[in-house]
Amino acid sequence: MANLLLLSGPNLNMLGSREPEIYGSRTLDDIERDLQARAEAAGSRLECYRSNAEHELVERIQAAASDASEVLIINPAALGHTSIALRDALAGCGKPFIEIHISNIYAREPFRHHSYLSDIAAGCIVGLGTYGYELALAAALKLGSGAAD
């Protein structure tokens, strides 16, 4: 049993209609529902939180420091490339997190090649489309169970 938290950053609420050639056709609702069902089937719980606002994500991460969340999965969206505040919140939270990007940020514009989160993440999943969320969940379940390898 693990308590997991999925965080989604700006513009991910537009998945499905937003640049489908890059991000695919699934909505964030589809992704969250599917992941929650998979977490429950594994005897765990997944809370989903999304915001377009940097400060709201920072506040949710701060709260995660002392709530039941054991492992965080975060698609920071564009904030991964810009936000030292998000990095500081995750570093201060003390809970392991997995960074995910739907697209291969290293094969896109140079300004997407750097993430302020990657070097402090437990692991990163990029470029595998929304399938990456399934992989992130599997990894988070493993981290939550305390399994090292």
The residues binding ligand DQA (CB under 6 A) are 11, 75, 77-78, 101-103, 105, 112
> Which sequence positions are flagged as catalytic?
23, 101
- Do residues 54 and 79 touch, judged by C-beta distance below 8 A? yes
- Return the number of other C-beta atoms located less than 10 Å from residue 122's C-beta: 15
* CA pair distance 115, 64, nearest whole angstrom: 21
Cβ of residue 78: shortest distance to ligand DQA, in angstroms?
4
Beta-ladder partners of 46: 4
In the bound state with ligand DQA, the residue whose beta carbon lies nearer, of 42 and 127, is 127
Distances (CA, A) of 85 to 27, 80, 88: 27, 10, 5
Residues 6+ apart with CB under 8 A from 103: 22, 23, 126, 127
Residue (68 or 113) nearer to ligand DQA, CB: 113
Residue 66 CB, shortest distance to ligand DQA, in Å, is 27
